Amino acid sequence: MNRNTAELTKLYYTIGEVAEMFDVSKSLIRYWESEFSILKPHKNSKGDRRFTKQNIEQLDIIYHLVKEKGFTLEGAKKEIRNSKSSLVQKKKVLDKLAGIKKGLVQIRDGMK
């Protein structure tokens, strides 16, 4: 699962691409969009969702709280309302640490 937002290079991503990034269904992303006011992807004239890097970062916070931390939807909404800036900062630190770990593993594997 690739959720490192630093690696995102495109301006927009389709809902299918985003669902694949998070290994969830498109319907779950649409459901979260209806439940979380912070998640508002752009829609084209046909109504297709176009997710920006910022939308994916928001979705990453929701995913982290609901799927990884086990929050209920109401609990996740409350957490986002109360500490959104610290959640974003924590997520950036976790992403950097994951990148460092990946680099260290590559170095270790190269020494074998």
Cα separation, 19 vs 28, in Å, equals 8
34: part of which helix (H) or strand (E)? helix 26-35
For residue 1, the model assigns a pLDDT of 44
Give the model confidence (pLDDT) of 53-106 as tens digits: 999 989 998 998 999 999 999 999 998 888 766 777 777 787 788 889 988 998
| Range(s) of the domain holding residue 85 | 5-111
How many domains is the chain partitioned into structurally? 1
The SS3 call for residue 36 is coil
Give residue 110's pLDDT band: very low, low, confident or very high (50, 70, 90): confident
DSSP 51-72: B-HHHHHHHHHHHIIIIIS---
CA atoms of 112 and 109, how far apart (whole Å):
5
Residue 92: predicted pLDDT: 76
6 vs 63: which has the higher pLDDT: 63
Measured between alpha carbons, how far apart are the two ends of the chain, in Å?
26
In angstroms, rounded to a whole number, what is the distance separating the alpha carbons of residues 11 and 54? 10
The two tokens of residue 50 are 């176009």
- The predicted pLDDT at position 70 comes to 95
Distance of alpha carbon 110 from alpha carbon 95, whole angstroms: 23
pLDDT of residue 95: 78
Q: What does the alpha-carbon distance between residue 32 and residue 58 come to, in Å, rounded to a whole number?
A: 11
**pLDDT value of position 98:** 84
CATH of the domain at 54: 1.10.1660.10
pLDDT 10s digits, 10-56: 899 999 999 999 999 999 999 999 999 889 999 989 989 999 999 99
**Looking at the predicted structure, is the pLDDT value of residue 7 above 90?**
no
